[in-house]
Structure 1
Amino acid sequence: MCKNRAMGASRAPHRIAVLARPGVLVLELSVVHQLFPYALGADGEPLYEVRTCAEQPGPLPSSADFPISVPHGPEALQDADTVFVPAAAGDDAPETAGRLPRQLAEALAATAEHARIASICTGAFVLAAAGLLDGRSATTHWNSAARFRARFPQVRLIADVLYVDEGAVLTSAGEAAGIDLCMHMIREDHGVAVANAVARSAVVPAHREGGQAQFIRTAVPEPRGSATGRAREWAREHLDRRIDLAELASCASMSVRTFTRRFRDETGLSPAQWLAQQRVERAQQLLEETGLTVESIAWRTGFGTAAALRRQLRERLGTSPSAYRSTFGGPATSRPGS
């Protein structure tokens, strides 16, 4: 579900704390610093303030052949609006057994109640060990997926997505997916125009397939492949038509019963839930990027009528097509009658 967390231009910059740990992956640490500072308001003022912190300030070993100097201690987490936990070497090592060192657990526990928390790559192991992902959906690097599932059965792991947005808690897959997650958060906070400006400045995609989606279902390599991936790819290409379960199962060369079970295992959703989600996400993308009428978008996304599309957006996003387009669409998408 897309939730507009937009912050007024008159407010102070949104405070981001990046929690570095021993062995932190350098690229993941730098992603946050390289994207959010490019986000500027209409007055040219920064919309975010990014600070790096650790359990103790000072020199910290990294995954590279050089240490980093961390200026802030855990107190930076206490007044942060967003906390990032990038991956560190050994996050998924057997000896951690899903437990957090006391000092790290205490630092996370002191995070402001209103803050959203996001992980990059195996940083999801930290969030799960802290209990922040219990009963939620999440993702992590595909190579660590099996270890994550075994260690945290209370978390619904979705291994073939770039990131998962659960509102207050967000997780992303590998290092590059951290870029996708950051762009998603900027886009959701301040809309498509700001996100596009950041993308141009950093020379990265504003978003990959799926647009402003809670789950971005761009293929991420999995060791054993995805049994229902071909069916999902086919469905995305035919969202303008009625798609039934038997057709999807046939595309995957499975019985309906087997397909339904495997589909839920791989996506965490039933085929019907997933299809509805894909249709809404495509509608969001068209509202953001085109000037098509609501009637045309309803037809292209398989809802059939503008009334059905409006109903779905109201139920799932709590907004109307015109309000969504006004918030997230660029100037060229404005069109009356939305």
Structure 2
Amino acid sequence: MPNSSSTPNNNDKPQLPVISQSELQDLMKKHGQPAFRAKQVIDWRNKGVLNPDAMKNIPGELRHILNAELICEPLRLVRRECSVDGTRKYVFALNRPRFSGKMVESVLIPEQSRGTVCISSQVGCVLDCPFCHTGTQGFEANLTAGEIVAQVLMIKADLHNEPLAGDLHNEVTHIVYMGMGEPLANETGLHDSLIALLSDDGLKLSRRRITVSTSGLVPQINRLGEAFNVNLAISLHSAIDSLRDTLVPINKKHPLKQLRDCLNRYSLGKQRHITLEYVLLKETNDREEDIRALIDFVNPERERVNLIQFNPYPGSPYDGSSKEHMSKFAQQLISKGIRATVRRSRGQDIMAACGQLKAETSKE
């Protein structure tokens, strides 16, 4: 478990986004409130309403108690940006005194049949992958479980208040830990947030609808599989150790052989697979030797490859592979019996696409 000085203090007040119904019932009993009030508060919370003053059927005395005893709104919405393709990017500021004003970004990716929320687990990132915009921010703080789950709840509330136009889905159906930060480097926040998202008095999401993306922290992957068995995505980007040492520096600590053994052990349910994410960088990891190494690394029975268009950001030292080259790369994998897809980039016009998130913490 992380023991960084940026890990939240366990003595903080309970946070409304992740508090259980039984804990709320104890709070009701402590203050002489009827037990059914706990269920009312949970119902509001699960709709995305975190401000007790907006809970219409809650008496004023209880609103005061909630505000005094809990951290009800661990995040504050700074701004929302909307893409021409329907994608929404949210910039949230932390309300913790020590990190007040620090910001994270989350993205809503709507489709006709589903609504996926991409959430952050850290302010910045503890890793330093050179092709990722978030990595240029450095690491500033681990998010609490309440701050992680609050991203989902506040986006749910936004969809209720301002539904998407057309035939796009207006509910949050899937969660991906693919925003700012390395989720497994904030293991406490990750695990506690998963408990809240999966629990019966929380959002009751299926494990099949939650994906955790990691750069390859092997011991933490093992513990994630044992505790939660959610979907797993690996930021692979190269199957050659010497190149991956540069693109994904954690590879120096957990090289590809360790990662391969770990993925072979990760428990998979029926019709489930591990996703290997691979951003294609022109003349860097898109050569013939790269595809041969990738073909040798992939276990086709357990994994699929998701090829990702490189999304540029100011000052980036890399260029992306052309769409034609990406298609050829995919076809070579498919010809070897490997499931491969090219991810359609969303939200590029608002810097909300994969690898583009970076909160300008000095600009509110």
Same fold, TM-score > 0.5, yes or no: no
Query: TM-score scaled by structure 1?
Result: 0.30
Structure with the higher strand share, 1 or 2: 2
Report which of the two has the higher share of helix: 1
TM-score (norm 2): 0.28
